[in-house]
Amino acid sequence: MTLRAFRQTPWGRPQVLVGCAILLAILAAALFAPLLFPEGPWPAVGTPYTPPFQSTATPLGTDTLGRDVVAGLLYGARVSLIVAVAATAAAIAVGILIGAIAGYVQGWVDDLLMRITEIFQTPPNFIFVIALVVILKPSIVAIIGAIAVVSWPPIARLVRAEFMSLRNREFVLSCRLVGVPPAKIIFAEILPNCLSPVIVTSSIMVATAVLLEAGLSFLGLGDPNVISWGGMVAIGRPALRSAPYLSVFPGIAIFVTVIAINLVGEALNETFDPRRRRR
């Protein structure tokens, strides 16, 4: 593919390239955080409330306890990515399983699974996540599980709709005719043909998971053993007038990450749905 042809694809747009670059930078920061700060983000390395750009040792300043803001941001990236990716993966696995069974079997099984799906969709997502984390006690595993619980229903409905449109196609009927087991038809024949919308939806789910985790940490429901962007915003809130950078920097990190994910998601959407490409 030539450079000119690449620029005409969704991935060749400047905003998408910027989004990809930002995500790669965040991923690199998360991966190399232990190498750059082997002692972690917790040790005090300077005077509390050192302003940004005043010291080469702490270029973005220090927090209320003298901890390096840069170290907090890098380790916070690790937490955000782990929670977002793990919760999305779990939600997709559950949603695909339930949606595939409901859409292929239909009948009373479909009705039962869809009623269960509706039960999980009834409460507001954020309130539901808060309730689950409070019940399970704040931890990374509890946060991942809670976000996955509120995220799988849209995937289940999407996969169900795709299966209902594909279950009577010729390639599926021929598989039934030769005696292919239903499980193999579901996962080897139909599922690969309906993964495109799932991949597109997963980008939105990752961005939503980042925001949900940040919101939980801001409310004090994050894992107390790790540092996260939402928790950093909460730590800086009492000093918002005297040291606004404590909340501004992690807030910018959350904002930029979500925007970058949405830009990449837009490219995914247009890649798998050519009808939506701009002319």
- pLDDT interval class at 248 (50, 70, 90): very high
> Is pLDDT above 80 for 7?
no
pLDDT in tens, 110-156: 999 999 999 998 899 999 999 999 998 889 999 999 999 999 999 99
Is the pLDDT at 6 greater than 70? The verdict is no
For residues 205-209, give the mean pLDDT: 93
pLDDT value of residue 182:
86
How far apart are the C-alpha atoms of 199 and 94, rounded to whole Å?
A: 14
- Work out the average pLDDT over 183-190: 88
pLDDT for the residue numbered 189: 86
pLDDT average, residue stretch 74-89: 93
Structure confidence at residue 208 (pLDDT): 93
Single-letter amino acid code for the residue at 198: V
Q: What is the mean pLDDT of the chain?
A: 89
Give the distance from CA 186 to its chain's centroid.
26
State mean pLDDT over 224-229: 91
pLDDT of residue 167: 84
Q: Among the ranges 57-61, 141-145, 167-171, 172-176, which has the highest mean pLDDT value?
A: 141-145
Which of the four pLDDT bands, split at 50, 70 and 90, describes residue 1?
Answer: low
63: exposed, middle or buried (Cβ count in 10 Å: 0-12, 13-18, 19+): buried
Residue 279: pLDDT band with limits 50, 70, 90: very low
**What number is the average pLDDT over the span 183-209?**
88
- In this structure, the dihedral spanned by the alpha carbons of residues 239, 240, 241 and 244, taken in order and rounded to 10 degrees, is 110
243: which 2 tokens?
Answer: 């040291």
Domains of the chain, start order: 72-276 (1.10.3720.10)
Please choose, from the candidates 216, 219, 232, the residue with its C-alpha nearest in 3D space to the C-alpha of residue 77.
232
Asked if residue 278 has pLDDT above 50, the reply is no
